[in-house]
């Protein structure tokens, strides 16, 4: 299924600033962002308002976390030359949009989002029976829709939020995209493309509407995207006319599921701050080395001469992430025959982790020494994000009859 016109091959994702990033974030999220930034028009932002929904009682840690997080991103290789990096609260249009979307969002939609109840259960010590927390996924919808993002790289736990975003977009288009004389406007818009293109568009539309021809749909979209002479509104009308609705003001985004990170923690469970088993990107090499040296191994290997089983050992999971076939064969053989000791077995992992962290930490130091540079990077990204957000808000306000002037 592809309901996102290629025009919207824009990628958007955000992260809540709730502490330093670790190798789990790096392997699970950041490496993915770094790849995407080469291919798409990427917007990555720090969701500080989202952090406030759960940390409203102790917000003082948020600002530091914001800058730490930006530095961790940059150090990991997220590149401000390729992607726009910004901070949610510096683009207040998100808040206005959230408010406007709240007008059309049925309460039940928000109450049914699984994370609403789950998180309340999980974070029992916090009172999350707040208006802001209920609206969390709607604020996220505003984040996404304000950039008309087509793709949203997220983990499994966020898919329901993107789903809600799609529903909200559909409802918005349904309510505000239906102009009384829509059909007429669409036909006039069609003419503006010129005879030849109008004819092509009609043919593709017919093929799609009458035979469900997906290629017809794609071809018509490509055609619309290549039109230089039609206005934004006309383009939206023609996108909408193609699928038989009204104007598509807010395109529906797709979740782009991030492969579950295979990054194990020091105890073999998934690496996560809540398990206390992380290696932070900024951990000192000596600390990292010590932590890896002391991490548990197969409990059957009490003495050096006891054979073990890599399948029962967290170190093996690190080898799965970091080692090539030859080293892995050496581990399998050496462990099961007690040919190697555990410390020996850990050495290639220690080397690999330290090697991976080295350039990241070097870059982090550079950015830490230049706070002005980091602020400028964010200021630049924010400016571009705001331009885009303001453009959408102009359209949204006018669709909602709010263009009083």
Binding site for ligand SF4 (CB under 6 A): 297-298, 301, 308, 310, 313, 315-316, 331, 335, 340, 342, 345-346
> What, of ligand TRP, ligand SF4, none, does residue 392 touch, CB below 5 to 8 Å by kind?
none
CB-nearer residue toward ligand SF4: 86 or 316: 316
CB-nearer residue toward ligand TRP: 144 or 331: 144
Write down the least CB distance from residue 141 to ligand TRP, Å.
8
Write down the least CB distance from residue 279 to ligand SF4, Å.
16
Q: Tell me how long the chain is.
A: 405
Return the closest-CA partner of residue 178 out of 247, 263, 274.
247
Instruction: Reduce the secondary structure of 297-309 to three states and give it as a string.
Output: CCCCCCCCCCCCC
CB-nearer residue toward ligand SF4: 221 or 301: 301
Write down the least CB distance from residue 294 to ligand SF4, Å.
12
CB-nearer residue toward ligand TRP: 78 or 345: 78
Q: Which helix (H) or strand (E) holds 209?
A: helix 195-211
Write down the least CB distance from residue 277 to ligand SF4, Å.
16
Write down the least CB distance from residue 290 to ligand SF4, Å.
16
> What, of ligand TRP, ligand SF4, none, does residue 382 touch, CB below 5 to 8 Å by kind?
none
User: What gap in Å lies between CA 12 and CA 32, rounded to an integer?
Assistant: 12
Write down the least CB distance from residue 16 to ligand TRP, Å.
5
> What, of ligand SF4, ligand TRP, none, does residue 205 touch, CB below 5 to 8 Å by kind?
none
Q: How large is the C-alpha radius of gyration of the chain?
A: 25
User: What gap in Å lies between CA 380 and CA 371, rounded to an integer?
Assistant: 14
CB-nearer residue toward ligand TRP: 12 or 353: 12
Write down the least CB distance from residue 151 to ligand SF4, Å.
39
- Crossing angle between the packed helical segments 232-243 and 214-225, to the nearest 10 degrees: 170
Contacts of 184 (CB under 8 A, 6+ apart): none
CB-nearer residue toward ligand TRP: 230 or 256: 256
> What, of ligand TRP, ligand SF4, none, does residue 353 touch, CB below 5 to 8 Å by kind?
none
Which segments within 112-204 are labelled E, that is strand?
Answer: 151-154
Can you list the alpha helix ranges (DSSP code H) found in 302-370? 314-322, 325-336, 342-368
**Residues in touch with ligand TRP (CB under 6 A):** 12-16, 47, 50, 140, 143-144, 152, 154, 158
Return the closest-CA partner of residue 348 out of 331, 371, 368.
331
CB-nearer residue toward ligand TRP: 164 or 224: 164
DSSP for 167-185, please give it. HHHHHHHHHHS--TTHHHH
């Amino acid at each position: 299924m592809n309901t996102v016109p290629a025009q919207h091959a824009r990628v958007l994702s955000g992260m809540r600033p709730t502490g330093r990033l670790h190798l789990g974030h790096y392997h699970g999220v950041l490496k993915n962002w770094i790849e995407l930034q080469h291919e798409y028009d990427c917007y990555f932002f720090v969701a500080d308002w989202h952090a406030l929904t759960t940390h409203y009682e102790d917000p003082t840690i948020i600002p530091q976390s914001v800058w730490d997080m930006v530095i961790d991103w940059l150090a990991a290789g997220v590149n401000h030359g390729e992607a726009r990096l910004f901070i949610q609260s510096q683009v207040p249009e998100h808040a206005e949009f959230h408010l406007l979307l709240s007008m059309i969002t049925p309460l039940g939609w928000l109450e049914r989002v699984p994370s609403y109840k789950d998180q309340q259960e999980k974070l029992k010590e916090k009172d999350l029976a707040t208006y802001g927390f209920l609206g969390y996924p709607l604020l996220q919808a505003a984040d996404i829709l304000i950039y008309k993002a087509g793709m949203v790289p997220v983990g499994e736990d966020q898919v329901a939020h993107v789903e809600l975003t799609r529903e909200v977009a559909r409802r918005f288009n349904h309510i505000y995209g239906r102009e009384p004389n829509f059909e007429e406007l669409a036909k006039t818009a069609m003419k503006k493309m010129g005879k030849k293109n109008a004819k092509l568009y009609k043919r593709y539309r017919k093929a799609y509407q009458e035979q469900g021809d997906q290629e017809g749909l794609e071809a018509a979209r490509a055609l619309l995207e290549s039109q230089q002479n039609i206005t934004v509104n006309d383009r939206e009308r023609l996108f909408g006319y193609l699928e038989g609705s009204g104007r598509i003001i807010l395109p529906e985004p797709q979740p782009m599921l991030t492969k579950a990170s295979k990054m194990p923690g020091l105890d073999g469970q998934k690496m996560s701050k809540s398990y206390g088993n992380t290696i932070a990107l900024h951990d000192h090499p000596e600390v990292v080395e010590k932590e890896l040296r002391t991490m548990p191994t197969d409990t059957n290997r009490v003495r050096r001469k006891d054979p073990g089983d890599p399948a029962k050992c967290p170190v093996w999971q690190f080898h799965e992430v970091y080692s090539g076939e030859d080293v892995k064969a050496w581990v399998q053989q050496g462990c099961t025959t007690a040919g190697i000791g555990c410390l020996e077995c850990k050495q290639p992992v220690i080397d690999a982790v330290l090697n991976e962290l080295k350039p990241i930490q070097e870059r982090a130091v550079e950015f830490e020494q230049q706070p002005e540079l980091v602020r400028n990077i964010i200021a630049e990204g924010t400016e571009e994000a705001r331009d885009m957000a303001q453009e959408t808000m102009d359209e949204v306000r006018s669709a909602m009859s709010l263009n009083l002037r």
